[in-house]
């Protein structure tokens, strides 16, 4: 045990021990022997009816980074790849030229609009509630609800 303690640095970026991963508890539980659980009153509801924690004025990029479990350090690369994806002709055929332009504009400004809410619904297979109106791209694949606070 002493040998293991010597290998672990005293300080870590997040000021936590390195083997506790709080950002994704299901991933931590999958690869550890200790299972951490949060008791929530909505655990008994079906998955489709559970609402995800409300985000407080998150930008579209922050929301995508959070739900895809990427690092904040990759924000610029993710933004560039999303713009590259939206610029493809196939994307314009599915969403239309006007909506594609609105999505690119919103992503470059890192702001919200209705087209961005619909795009995030498409990207994350979820229902996005923006300005109290749900936006759903594919009703058959909805797995969660994301509430955007503006």
**Is 130 in contact with 114 (CB distance < 8 Å)?**
yes
Query: Residue 17: is its pLDDT beyond 70?
Result: no
CB atoms within 10 A of CB 58: 18
Q: Cβ(117)–Cβ(99) under 8 Å?
A: no
Kindly tell me the burial class for residue 148, based on how many C-beta atoms sit within 10 Å of its own C-beta (0-12, 13-18, 19 or more): buried
Output the CA–CA distances (angstroms, integers) from residue 38 to 15, 29, 48, 69, in the order listed: 22, 12, 19, 19
| pLDDT over threshold 50, residue 144 | yes
pLDDT, one tens digit per residue, over 21-78 is 566 667 666 666 554 455 444 444 444 444 555 445 588 999 899 888 888 888 999 9
User: What is the pLDDT averaged over residues 120-133?
Assistant: 89
Domain boundaries, the chain: 1-38, 44-148
Q: Which residue has the higher pLDDT, 55 or 120?
A: 120
Share of the chain above pLDDT 90, in %: 29
Least confident of 6-10, 94-98, 121-125, 140-144: 6-10
- What is the pairing mode between strands 145-148 and 127-130? parallel
What pLDDT, on a 0 to 100 scale, did the predictor assign at position 142?
A: 72
Query: With the CA atoms of 96, 141, 58 and 134 taken in that order, what torsion angle do they form, in degrees rounded to the nearest 10?
Result: 70
**Long-range contacts of residues 122-130, Cβ cutoff 8 Å, at least 24 apart:** 122/95, 123/64, 124/64, 124/67, 124/68, 126/52, 126/67
Bridge partners of 130, per DSSP, are 133, 148
pTM tops 0.85, yes or no: no
């Amino acid at each position: 045990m002493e040998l293991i303690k010597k290998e672990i640095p005293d300080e870590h970026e997040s000021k936590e021990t390195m083997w506790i991963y709080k950002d994704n508890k299901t991933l931590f539980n999958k690869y550890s022997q200790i299972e951490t659980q949060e008791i929530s009153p909505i655990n008994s509801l079906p998955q489709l009816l559970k609402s995800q924690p409300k985000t407080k004025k998150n930008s579209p990029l922050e929301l995508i980074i959070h739900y895809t479990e990427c690092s904040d350090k990759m924000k610029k690369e993710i933004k560039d790849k999303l713009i590259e994806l939206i610029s493809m002709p196939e994307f314009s055929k599915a969403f239309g030229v006007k909506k594609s332009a609105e999505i690119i504009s919103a992503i470059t400004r890192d702001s919200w609009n209705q087209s961005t809410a619909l795009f995030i619904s498409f990207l994350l297979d979820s229902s996005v509630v923006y300005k109290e109106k749900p936006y759903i791209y594919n009703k058959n694949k909805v797995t969660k609800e994301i509430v955007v606070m503006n």
